[in-house]
Amino acid sequence: MARPKQSPRHAAQYVELPPRGPVEALVYWRNAARSGAALGAGLVLLIALACCSVVSVFAYCSLLALSAAVAFRIYKNVLQAVQKTNEGHPFKWLLERDVSVSAERAQALAASATAHLNAALHELRRLFLVEDLVDSLKFGVLLWCLTYLGACFNGITLVILGWIALFTLPKAYEMNKAQVDANLELARAKINEITAKVRAAVPLGRKTESDKEK
């Protein structure tokens, strides 16, 4: 899919995102078993975090994984002794797998994180220092809505709702793409019309053509 063209102001801040293959396959339910397992495991983990501390959840999950690994290792050892076979360590393929992070991969992740952080800082500076009055007002409306959202839900509840939405909204959009796109286009046109009227009535915060060229 071709990338949309970026405006000159944001062109320097644009970062090429990695391919979304595995993640896209999960959220679009290409394999129902894998997507259901990912959704269920994530919900169990998030609900556990809502009920217990992070340390407790980490300790219990680690104990569960360790107990399963020890039980499986003992089972395979007993089975090999009974059958008089020598298949070796049951987790040999995992023990021989390279799990180290290369220097190139670490540098790429650090560069990507830095680029996203710098882009966020520049955008926040632009909004809070009212470089464009209309954009700052829209940002203020968003913050005002977030105060009501925060009064109704805590952080972990929002994360749970976001996790559920991640596995439901993309698939729902894919199945109803034509209708959703038509409604979004109408809403976008209305918002652009209102924004244009506000900019014409309140010229504060707009840059002139000579300012943009500097």
Radius of gyration of the chain measured on its C-alpha atoms: 25
pTM for the full predicted model: 0.66
Question: What pLDDT score does 84 carry?
Answer: 83
Question: What pLDDT score does 5 carry?
Answer: 46
Question: What pLDDT score does 211 carry?
Answer: 53
Tell me the average pLDDT of the chain: 84
Domain ranges for the chain? 105-152
212 pLDDT above the threshold of 70: no
d(CA 129, CA 121): 12
User: Quick one: what percent of the chain has pLDDT higher than 90?
Assistant: 45
DSSP letter string, the chain:
-PPPPPPHHHHTT--PPPP-HHHHHHHTTSSHHHHHHHHHHHHHHHHHHHHS-HHHHHHHHHHHHHHHHHHHHHHHHHHHHHHT-----TTHHHHTS--PPPHHHHHHHHHHHHHHHHHHHHHHHHHHTTSSHHHHHHHHHHHHHHHHHHHH--HHHHHHHHHHHHHHHHHHHHHTHHHHHHHHHHHHHHHHHHHHHHHHH--TTPPPHHHHH-
pLDDT bracket for residue 11 (50, 70, 90) = very low
- Beta carbons of 80 and 87 less than 8 angstroms apart: yes
pLDDT bracket for residue 198 (50, 70, 90) = confident
The upper half-sphere exposure of residue 124, i.e. CA atoms within 13 Å in the direction of its Cβ, equals 7
Model confidence over 50-101: pLDDT tens digits? 999 999 999 999 999 999 999 999 999 999 888 888 888 888 888 888 888 8
